[in-house]
Amino acid sequence: MAVSKSNKKKQQCYIAVPSQIINSISSSGLQSLLLSPKRKNPSFSVKLKLLLNNPRFWVLFLFVFVFVGMLKMWFNFDTLVPFSQNPCGIFQEKGSFENEQQSSQLSAGAVSVGKEENGDEKSEFWKQPDGLGYRPCLEFSREYRKTSLDIVKGRNRYLMVVVSGGMNQQRNQIVDAVVIARILGAALVVPILQVNVIWGDESEFSDIFDLDHFKEVLANDVRIVSSLPSTHVMTRPVEEKRTPLHASPEWIRLHYTRKIRRDGVLLLRSLDSRLSKDLPSDLQKLRCKVAFHALRFSPSILELGNKLTERMRSKGPYVALHLRMEKDVWVRTGCLPGLSHEYDEMINNERKQRPELLTSRSNMTYHDRKLAGLCPLNALEVTRLLKALGAPKSARIYWAGGIPLGGKEALQPLTNEFPQFFNKEDLSLPGELEPFAKKASLMAALDYIVSENSNVFMPSHGGNMGHAIQGQRAYAGHKKTITPNKRKMLQHFLNSSLSETEFNAIILDLHRDSLGQPELRKAGRDVTKYPVPECMCNGTMNHSSM
């Protein structure tokens, strides 16, 4: 077989030798090695015999052996590879994922890179807002603490509640259920989670939340019981369906106290927004105590959620996006995904067939809704917003939410610009998600944990999860949370005459005060979304006292 000339050419190889070794050899020594004149040498066998019988040889051999071993420790020969069997080979840097993380099935575009290359930790994008010294502060009044003694000892009144919706909606209703029980001076039976019609999730309270922790944290505020006592089991609970929206504590006492005192058990359903957002100071603090302290996820959810968080953190800072791009979101909001004419027609037809799904303002056109900031951002708009706010291309992104209409195609603008793009399926090891399969509430809880722990969080649209995480991050020290100013920015998205530099400057300016800075709660707003000033004090005041 003929051999090409290129193969005959001798390949040149270079062996890396530490400079300390070179420097240790004097110039005269080098000259003697390189320039010594030729002379007749004795036979090899004679020289070898003399050498082996010379004790100085063995001393020198031992010294060289120890010296080389020490050099290997000092200069990390695994990196320098001076004596590699293949010195011309290409060396690849080891990844920093642990063994557990190396085996995870990451998405195709999610290539691991070193921390120096990924996230650009010095970028202004990762800079956190000034929290102005605000810290959690739950100092209850003397009267509240005094009343608590009688309430937690009570054995005659019991409040039962049935909460509905997704995990975050149920969470909000549980917070209000605790406050209503406190208002009525009743013990709260562990809330019943209604089976979700859309997802068929049959999870119970203890599947999602840590029940023992819930009881322990609220032990001085409201008595929590797992079930009705035997004295009340046969009592048919009085079901109340006429609770108005935003009912005040006075209304609740006036309409429910006599009933619960007479019958012993009161049953409430559909608590969503039934309790007023404007409550006395102590009850606002109780809301925060339930939301931020008592409602901890169950150990199994917390364990996996923290693992996913660490896998995201292992390469540096990361962004969490809550993307609201599912089919039902487009239908309910009266908006269009903008993927193609076919997808827009699909949404329009479903909305015509089921007009009751449209949540509000049915008289507005899609274009009017869009300009009013009532529509979720699509993937292209999220991408342009992140770029304008300074997100580096190497930023790692965790995206939470359901499968978007259009699947991977709908996410393409994001994945093209930010290839380090993960969700819980990408990060989990084989079999890790099996216990949570077909349980939407548990999956939502995992998204909640990873999003809440992120360096930067941004929802593409309002909603219970976005609001809850915004409040949690504020309470944790005002971690950076981007609130898209959709109403003001979308007109600039449609202005094709703007250069990229002009567009970025405008968008950045619009969001200077929407990055998670402390914001005082206004009337009608939920304290679990805006915990200042009822649940947080500045640096000159006392810290948390529960």
pLDDT for position 438: 85
> Same domain, yes or no, for 366 and 251?
no
> Same domain, yes or no, for 178 and 280?
yes
Distance CA 328, CA 404 (A): 10
> Same domain, yes or no, for 350 and 267?
no
Give tens-digit pLDDT for 121-151.
678 999 999 999 999 999 999 999 999 999 9
Assess if residue 91 is contained within a domain.
no
The total number of structural domains in the chain stands at: 2
Assess if residue 448 is contained within a domain.
yes
Return the closest-CA partner of residue 290 out of 176, 199, 399. Answer: 176
> Same domain, yes or no, for 213 and 330?
no
Q: Which of 245, 271, 292 is the endpoint of a domain?
A: 292
Range of the domain at 457: 297-536
pLDDT for position 71: 54
Alpha helices in 218-365 (DSSP H): 230-233, 249-263, 281-289, 299-313, 327-333, 341-353
Place of tokens 């109340």: 240
Cis omega (within 30 of 0) on the bond before 533? yes
Assess if residue 106 is contained within a domain.
no
> Same domain, yes or no, for 282 and 381?
no
pLDDT for position 241: 76
Residue type, 356: E
> Same domain, yes or no, for 418 and 460?
yes
Mean predicted confidence (pLDDT) in 179-196: 94
Contact 104, 429 (CB under 8 A): yes
CA dihedral (315, 443, 102, 312) in degrees, to 10, reads 0
- Residue 61 CA, chain-centre distance (Å), reads 58
Assess if residue 462 is contained within a domain.
yes
pLDDT for position 80: 33
Mean pLDDT value across the chain: 82
> Same domain, yes or no, for 277 and 311?
no
CATH number of the domain where residue 197 is located: 3.40.50
> Same domain, yes or no, for 375 and 482?
yes
> Same domain, yes or no, for 231 and 331?
no
Mean predicted confidence (pLDDT) in 27-34: 38
> Same domain, yes or no, for 309 and 282?
no
Give tens-digit pLDDT for 428-476.
999 999 999 889 999 999 999 999 999 999 999 989 999 999 999 999 9
Per cent of the chain over pLDDT 70 is: 75
> Same domain, yes or no, for 287 and 301?
no
Distance CA 90, CA 211 (A): 55
Assess if residue 53 is contained within a domain.
no
> Same domain, yes or no, for 273 and 408?
no
Q: Which of 252, 267, 292 is the endpoint of a domain?
A: 292
Q: Which of 292, 316, 332 is the endpoint of a domain?
A: 292
pLDDT for position 55: 67
Return the closest-CA partner of residue 206 out of 221, 223, 219, 224. Answer: 224
pLDDT at 294 > cutoff 50: yes
Structure letter (DSSP) for residue 314: T
Higher pLDDT, 206 or 18: 206
Assess if residue 12 is contained within a domain.
no
Assess if residue 236 is contained within a domain.
yes
- How far is the CA of 100 from the CAs of 126, 423, 429, in angstroms? 27, 17, 8
pLDDT for position 362: 66
Assess if residue 41 is contained within a domain.
no
Name the pTM for this structure: 0.77
Query: Residue 422 class from Cβ within 10 Å (0-12 exposed, 13-18 middle, 19+ buried)?
Result: buried
Contact 466, 114 (CB under 8 A): no
Per cent of the chain over pLDDT 90 is: 63
